[in-house]
Amino acid sequence: MRGFFSQIWTVVVMNVLSLPRRLWMSLAAIFAVSVVVAVLLAFLAMAKGFEQTLAGTGTDRIAIITRTGSQSELNSSMSRDTVNLVATAPGIARDAGGDPVYSAELYVIVDGIKRSNQLKANIPMRGISPRGFGLREQLEIVEGRQFEPGRNEIVVGEGVLRQFEGFELGREIRFGKTNWEVVGVFSTGGSAFESELWADAPTVQSQFQRGSSFQTVRLRLETPGDVQPILEFVENDPQLILDVETEADFFANQGRALTGIAIFGWILSVVMGLGALAGALNTMYTSVAARAREIATLRAIGFSNISAFMGTLAESLLLSVLGGLAGAIAAWLFFDGFSASTLGASFTQVVFTFELTPELFRDGIVLAVAIGLIGGLFPAWRAARVPVVTAFQGGE
Amino acid sequence: MKDVYLILKNLTRKPLRLFLTVFATFIAFMIFGTLTAFQQAFDAGVDLAADDRLVVVNKINFTQTLPIAYVNRVRAVEDVVAVTHLNWFGGYYQEPRAQFAMFAVDAENFLTVYDELVITDAERAAWIANRQGLIAGKSIAESFGWQAGERIPVNSNIFSQRDGRTDWDFDVVAIYEGADPQTDTNSVYFHYEYFNETQSFGGDFIGFMGVRTTDPERNEAVIAAIDDLFANSPAETETVPEKAFNKAFIEQIGNLSLILTSVVLAAFFVILVIVGNSMILSIRERTREIGVMKTLGFTSGRIFRMVLVESLLIALIGGMLGVAAAGLMVSLVNQAPIQLPVLVLGGSVWTQALLYVAVLGFITGIVPAMNALRLNIITALSRS
């Protein structure tokens, strides 16, 4: 048994050591696999980054209330009376003074100039109250200060600052007839709120002709994850046509928007992988042909055909795994942490960063191994069947 | 003639290698053809935009509304031929996930401004006469299975009726087609009056206007005139050519062109390396043979040409098969019941593909061809 494995090991080492003789052919195979893996990981990292940004935005300690069927904050609307009524529902956490902890908010869209293409894109501007600040986790003013209620002042998210021009601290921005001043920059630890501009809710109501209406209500739940008491309250009142969801569920749904991109990435890279597979097969058949005499000689001195098979397979796997690693490293260098923005569910830009997680890395290597395995199998089969007599023939 | 025979013999001497290199080329060109069709479909909104059409939106953002009174004032501007207005309705059919583009429009002028949407005069008259009538694009009608003459309910995810319902009843009066195969037919249009009288939001506002001018040359003057009209009002406007508006709109999703172009480039690069390598290898294996041919009096130029033609042939076979397969993919995607723009694999894709075939064939063949050209008979024959 020991002999069996040491035979295989010897042939594997011989194969690997002879690689420099077929340098260009081997490099071509490595390169092809690395490009395929890099393309796959670029798409997956994009979808994953978007998903994680939105998943990190929601928490199950907060519930969000929207008008039934509206699907997004932008489409929702509710009157002040509705807000006041729903605030009396059971199941809402209360502060030290015994008042329910909630925030009624507005969500309007304004234009910003994207740095990447100098074109206009939709940025959400949230009308919010100091109470609403308390309902965001990891909120931190990183520069400047909070806006003052009643004034045309805004604080901007770090994501907006990264992707858009003209929102730097101290800048004046004109929306319609009114000027607004940027007085602060906030961070929420990378969540989608960083793609927003925040201003005083009553000021937004008056400057954007919203009367006394709001769009959504956020509230802190008495028991995290339990929206049932509020849901029952809403269902028992025919005046309230509202959806109640935890913020975590709300944003998890929106985060799936780029799942299609991930599927597209898989289809594309598997098709490209077939091309790389053709390259790998070519390389390995050439390798077997070039080493035919060597293989036959080994057979003649008593090596098993399994060792010839394993040697070729190992060579193919080594090349494709090297390619996979190179592709994954390239994807990591170029794409991990890459900041981008796209249109989200509320018809506004969501700023997110590409995220190359260990699972995605593993997916890339799996694809590379699959190419190496299939690309090595058939040539290895041929290697195993090289007739011993080849050892004693001349030429190639 | 003898050369053609030799080239074919050389090509097929290792059938497996020939198959693998052609297959790799095939894959690259299939990706190229399919993605280019996608890219052209995304660009169609920009390419097909009418030069004499402007879009008037609220200066803050196009989702902010404008007063309906603006429409008549724009109509009076010099060099304006026709004006229509549109409100985004947020329509969905049966389930909230089945959203589609639905606009409340001024039916009288709508088809004059957007004349690439084709229905008969009789259908147009019937639509204008039916207050609850809508016209639906061919593509969207097919995906929901709507027939002309049918009565359907449509929900809005933004608006509700005065009694709190979010569904409206409509008559499907006509199914419109596009003047161009790539004209978008995923939208639905209905009467503004029906919308304005039944929804509970407070009325008499519009989303944006479409304006047709007498001549694209006059666009700039019209743009300035319209925006001046409403300067310093509570709702200032921004007027832009439709092409610019559509371009900014599609770019909101992201730089799709860049993504698609990079992928196609990556695929070509991979195939270039694979095919190029295998060509070099197969010529090197024939070193002796080329030496013999030279001895027999084949000129270096002739051998050079034969090698180059061989690599061009591989690229040509793989490339054309690949684009043909892309055509098949495109028709499959078009038949799928998803709301995608119509994909067309037109002549321009074939022309581009031929160009790339030539480039690919040349690059992969030039190095081995040069090697063969320079090959010295003595060295060739002494190499075992």
Q: For tokens 């670029």, what's the residue?
A: A42
- Predicted confidence at residue B1, as pLDDT, reads 59
For chain B, first and last CA: distance in Å? Answer: 30
DSSP string, A120-172: EEEEEEEEE-HHHHTTSTT-EEEEE-PPPTTSSEEEEEHHHHHHEES--TT-E
Please state, in angstroms and rounded to a whole number, the distance separating the CA atoms of residues A76 and A68. Answer: 8
CA distance A241 to chain B (A): 8
The 3-state secondary structure of A26-43, one letter per residue: HHHHHHHHHHHHHHHHHH
Angle at which helix B2-11 crosses helix B300-335, to 10 degrees, equals 60
Helix (H, G, I), strand (E, B) or coil at B226: helix
Query: Quick one: DSSP state of residue A333?
Result: H
The domain ranges of chain A are: 2-55+257-392, 69-240
Nearest residue in A to B259, CA atom: A43
pLDDT tens readout for residues A331-354: 999 999 999 999 888 889 999 999
pLDDT tens readout for residues B273-298: 999 999 888 888 888 888 898 899 88
**Residues A257, A258, A263, A267, CA torsion sign:** positive
| A208 touching B (Cβ < 8 Å) | yes
Residues of chain B with Cβ-Cβ distance to A68 below 8 Å are: 166
**CB–CB of A269/A366 below 8 Å?**
no
Pairwise CB contact (< 8 Å): A349 & B252? yes
- Predicted confidence at residue A4, as pLDDT, reads 82
b/e map of B123-140 (b: 16 or more CB within 10 Å)? Answer: bbebbeebeebbbbbbbb
Of the candidates A44, A50, A43, A41, which has an alpha carbon nearest to the alpha carbon of residue A255?
A50
Tell me the β-bridge partners of B171: B133, B151
pLDDT tens readout for residues B295-349: 998 898 899 999 999 999 999 999 999 999 999 999 998 887 666 778 889 889 9
Please state, in angstroms and rounded to a whole number, the distance separating the CA atoms of residues A102 and A253. Answer: 22
- Predicted confidence at residue A396, as pLDDT, reads 44
Residues of chain B with Cβ-Cβ distance to A278 below 8 Å are: 20-21, 23-24, 27, 274
Of the candidates A325, A341, A369, A354, which has an alpha carbon nearest to the alpha carbon of residue A38?
A325
Pairwise CB contact (< 8 Å): B236 & A176? yes
How large is the ipTM?
0.87
The residue type of A342 is T
pLDDT tens readout for residues A81-113: 999 999 999 999 999 999 999 999 999 999 999
Pairwise CB contact (< 8 Å): B59 & A279? no
CB-based burial of residue B75 (10 Å sphere; 0-12 exposed, 13-18 middle, 19+ buried)?
middle
Q: How many residue pairs from chains A and B have C-beta atoms closer than 8 A?
A: 134
B112: how many CB neighbours lie within 10 A of its CB?
A: 13
Pairwise CB contact (< 8 Å): B270 & A120? no
B17: which 2 tokens?
A: 């290698």
B342: which 2 tokens?
A: 């119509």
- Predicted confidence at residue B311, as pLDDT, reads 94
Enumerate residue ranges in chain A where pLDDT < 70: 1-2, 394-396
Of the candidates A297, A376, A24, A279, which has an alpha carbon nearest to the alpha carbon of residue B284?
A24
Enumerate residue ranges in chain B where pLDDT < 50: none
Angle at which helix B300-335 crosses helix B15-47, to 10 degrees, equals 50
- Predicted confidence at residue A394, as pLDDT, reads 55
- Predicted confidence at residue A253, as pLDDT, reads 83
Cα→Cα distances A180→A154, A183, A187, A378, B141, Å:
7, 9, 20, 69, 45
Q: For tokens 């003639």, what's the residue?
A: B1
B110: which 2 tokens?
A: 């709508």
Pairwise CB contact (< 8 Å): B274 & A28? yes
Of the candidates A258, A247, A252, which has an alpha carbon nearest to the alpha carbon of residue A340?
A258
Residues of chain A with Cβ-Cβ distance to B88 below 8 Å are: none
The residue type of B182 is Q
Pairwise CB contact (< 8 Å): B28 & A275? yes
